[in-house]
Structure 1
Amino acid sequence: MTMQDRDRLDGRRALVTGGSKGTGMAVVERLHEMGADVWTTARTMPTGYERPDRFIEADTATTDGVEAVAGKISEEGPLDILVHVVGGSSTPPGGYAAASEDQWMAELNLNLLGAVRLDRVLLPAMVEARSGVVVHVTSIQRQQPLHDATLPYASAKGALRTYSKGLANELAPRGVRVNAVSPGGIQTEGYDDFVDRLADGNDVTREEAKQMIFDSLGGVPLGRFATTEEIADLVGFLVSDRASSIVGAEYVIDGGTVPTT
């Protein structure tokens, strides 16, 4: 196998959750560029989506949504690559007391249990084929939670990392590699929405809200958040043959936000 071949994903089937926008869409495009047959899922297909036959409209935060995705994917055989990107937070600011029971469950379903359920129905085929790669997108908030508005999200991502590590140890001997990518801030529409919520909840400007985020993280040495393309580059590496011996790792991509200990 040449060095260039190790960068290619020709002939491999991939599924990316949350692929309708932001980081998920960037990952879809990167894997497609690498030669994979890429499926994606999200609640709504974007207008003018270029590959509608490879899009599954479903909410993977629900059991019905997971069943719909798994049923469609399984019609054509096992996956080679599964990337869980879907996630986010809608909890209002105000600390722990502002997060209701329903909001906690919504965050857990979106950021943790959707991945657990989808893995449970799709990974047996990978195990049977003794081949496959799984990437879970976690967050540096599992180490540096922002308590004002995203504690449920941070808690779910922390649990996702623990789950990912345990799954990696179980499946590596069976031919399936599992790893995690832990982004810091990412320049997405979701980030802009979070800034707006923080600004409204604290009666400050958007720029002041952004500075609050940077301050709460202890600063970002790089001076900016990562782009979605930079996250996609890392995911592309991890699912390629260049990463064939990497198992159970969590790659932090945060511009230096998390201090070295």
Structure 2
Amino acid sequence: MGPYSGDYDRNRGGKNSLISASNLLLIIFTSTVAFCIVYLSPDLHFGTTSLVYKPLWTIKTLSFTWAGFQFVLFTLVKLRSPGKGNDISNACGLIHKARKSLLMELRNLILLFLLYAASCIAFHVISILFGAYIFENFEETFLFSVLVSTLVSLPCLLVNELDYEAWNRFISGCCLPGVESYVMTVACCSLLGAWVGAVPIPLDWDRPWQVWPISCSIGVVIGHGTGLLLCTAHAGFNVLQQFRRGKSKLF
């Protein structure tokens, strides 16, 4: 199982969970607040107006900004989560273990980056299959694919990492523990938003936001934000229930 997933549904607030209920709420709540600040703040110029009049710059900047934020957030939560303990008492053993762990993390990071790049290419191909031009507007299509991959694939990669069982459970969609179920919800809302955003493109309204891929980009961003808000409300409700029962501490 990936280091960010845990038996949230089976061991609610238990000591054996790799991620506590409060950490789960921290991920969702921090993501929601940060996303609202990034997208809605007029000083940052990442909102709908910027997507309409400066789509390429906005999509590119929003994608890389949000990708960096997610990586930092999940890394901090991983460090904050309790480990399994350390049975090695001598300094040489600790150094050897830390070096080995660092090499494993570096290898995993490279593989995750390659999977993220493959996801961008996959969404680019899917966009073409759904009607985007192959050569015309190539940059627009590819940047839209990067945006979708950042909002949909990257959280899944950070949660499941290279765990085959976690991915098998995630793809099947059954018995998902807490953080995996929330990532799935946000991903589905993002994809639904992108699909709904494509509806106005063929209509003859002659609006500037109907140009490819502006409406789809607005749709995937709004869908992502909606998914985060729904998950924040659900995670907050679950943590509050556990806190009332005395089974969990708030942060």
Q: Same fold (TM over 0.5)?
A: no
Give the TM-score band, short-chain normalised: 0.3 to 0.5
Higher relative strand content = 1
TM-score with structure 1 length normalisation? 0.33
Higher Rg: 2
Higher relative helix content = 2
Task: Select the structure with the greater relative contact order (CA < 8 A; seq sep ≥ 6).
Answer: 2
